[in-house]
Amino acid sequence: GLGKTNEEKKKDPRFIALGARVCAEHGADIVKTYYTETDFEKVVAGCPVPIMIAGGPKCETDLDTLNMVYGSLQGGAKGIVMGRNVWQSPHPEALLSAVYGLIHENMSVKEAAELLEHGKNSKA
């Protein structure tokens, strides 16, 4: 409930859903918010405008980034608004191609990871 820290609230689907809905009720055409690993579909269902996920903390690996993007899309997000998780990757162009595949070509994480590896190897 109300005793949660800000870090806990960033991960709590109830707080994220409430914040997203309030943004929409105040006129937002689109909402950028954190991806909650659990119950993200409830966040999306409670918001009448499209949801995009923020990159959040730096992912440890590019595969972690792909899994986060895929999970958010499966939960109903319409896309991503990311910075460091793409640009601080050792292979930002390859990662961006893989993320594009997830969002626009309905790739699985496995397919996107293969595209990522191919992109890494083609730059070598």
The pLDDT value recorded for residue 124 is: 53
- Per-residue H/E/C for the chain: CCCCCHHHHHHCHHHHHHHHHHHHHCCCCCEEECCCCCCHHHHHHCCCCCEEEECCCCCCCHHHHHHHHHHHHHCCCCEEECCHHHHCCCCHHHHHHHHHHHHHCCCCHHHHHHHHHHHHHHCC
Active-site option among 32, 42, 78, 120: 32
Report the predicted TM-score, pTM, of the whole model to 2 decimal places.
0.89
Domain spans in the chain, listed from the N-terminal domain onward: 6-122
Q: How confident is the model at residue 1 (pLDDT cuts 50, 70, 90)?
A: very low
| Whether pLDDT at 2 is above 90 | no
Q: Does domain 6-122 have CATH number 3.30.70.260?
A: no
pLDDT digits (tens, 9 = 90+) for 31-82: 999 999 899 999 999 999 999 999 888 999 999 999 999 999 999 999 999 9
Residue 32 is a catalytic residue:
yes
